[in-house]
Structure 1
Amino acid sequence: MADSRRNEVGLDQPIERRSWRLPRLSFGTEGFGRFAEFVARFMGTPTFLLWMTVFVVVWITFNVVGLFGLKWDPYPFILLNLAFSTQASYSAPLILLAQNRQEARDRLGLEEDRRVAQQSRADMDFLAREIASLRMSVNDLATRDYIRSEMRQELRDLLAELDRRAEESPRP
């Protein structure tokens, strides 16, 4: 189940790894891209920096001080410099590849955000037009207060008419 889901995930979904084991290597672009992201993420962790510091301290200690008779680099630090150069020459392209993949994910996310914003804007414009048409329709309708005032006026007119007729008609 997890492997089939992993294959369905595209560039718009980051892959979360819960363990520090190396991912399966495959020669496809997606597999190599996941490997590049793993390397880039690992090289940016405090764990990597700690182990690299331990490695350098041990290297210097054994090569300069010569503990336990171990001194494998006759010219101190040349082999260490070569190891760092090799590491940099492999890690730089992997980090750039991981950045390119992240940029592609970000671009897809931005396009989706733009699409949702356009749809939201269209929906808001539609609702604004509907509200405006409802307001115009409500303005044409008689409100309760208007009907009451009209009825009062009619009642006054009727009472006035009745009073006028009562005054005009002869009394027996």
Structure 2
Amino acid sequence: MTDPGMRSSLSTPLISRRPRFNFDADAVGRYSEAIARFFGTGTYLLIQTVIVIIWIIINVAVVALRFDPYPFILLNLAFSTQAAYAAPLILLAQNRQEDRDKDSVQEDRLRATQTKADTEFLARELASVRLSVGENVTRDYLRRELEDLRGSVERIETLLVGLDGDRGNTFRRKTDSD
């Protein structure tokens, strides 16, 4: 064990003797958002207006219950305290919303990038299919080619028949003259 007067090594963590408060920052954020959301409603404004009117009526009209006479210093202090707590809660809620918006924008960018990549892939695939279809023989093209071949074969047969007829005549002439 080390001497209490000597300093411990820097590699040894200090043990804190202060009590630590463990609280869920997300829960605090959710709570502050709920309060900030309530501050922005008509219900809150109505309740606050009714309380202020009752406060003023009690302190002006009902002499026996006067606890905050005319300059209404206690009411002013209550509003100041409320504003002191409301402003940071609203800012915290705005910061959390800003973080959510950043996450949403980032997610939208990733989705847009993926959609663009998918679209480019599909465009390449479509171009490939178009090229493949362009190289394939269609039924109409094959019919025309077969009709052209049939016509060519018929012409060749006609020529052959004509040549056979001439050969037969030539052969007969040679045999007749012999």
TM-score range, shorter chain: 0.7 to 0.9
Which structure carries more relative contact order (alpha carbon 8 Å, separation 6+)? Answer: 1
User: Hey, what's the Cα distance between the residues in 1 that align with 2:66 and 2:127?
Assistant: 86
**1: CA distance between counterparts of 2:92 and 2:53?**
31
Give a deviation string over 1:80-136, Cα, whole Å, max 9, x none: 122111101100000100110111111111111111111111111111111112211
Q: What do residues 40-94 of structure 1 show as CA deviations (whole Å, max 9, x unaligned)?
A: 1111122211111110111111112226x22111233322122111101100000
Q: TM-score, normalized by length of structure 1?
A: 0.77
CA apart distance, 1:158: 1.3
User: Are 1:45 and 2:41 an aligned pair?
Assistant: yes
Please say if residues 60 and 69 of structure 2, whose CA atoms lie closer than 8 Å, have aligned partners that are also in contact: no
Corresponding residue number in structure 2 for 1:72: 67
Aligned residues: 146
Percent identical: 51
1:169 Cα offset (Å): 2.8
Corresponding residue number in structure 2 for 1:91: 86
Name stretches of at least 5 consecutive residues in structure 2 with no aligned partner. 1-21, 170-178
Q: Distance in 2 between matches of 1:51 and 1:82?
A: 18
CA distance in 2, matches of 1:166, 1:81: 123
- Per-residue CA deviations over 1:8-53 (Å, capped at 9, x if unaligned) read xxxxxxxxxxxxxxxxxx7331121111111111111222111111
State yes or no: 1:27 paired with 2:23. Answer: yes
Say whether the 8 Å CA contact 1:64–1:76 is kept in structure 2. no
Structure 2 residue 106 is the aligned partner of structure 1 residue 105: no
TM-score by length of 2: 0.75
Consecutive unaligned residues of structure 1, counting only runs of 5 or more, are 1-25
Return the letter of the residue paired with 1:42: F
Structure 2 counterpart of 1:99, one-letter code: Q
> What aligned pairs does 1:47-62 form with structure 2 within 5 A after superposition?
47-62=43-58
Question: Match of 2:137, SS?
Answer: coil
Q: Is the 8 A contact 1:42 1:48 kept in 2?
A: yes
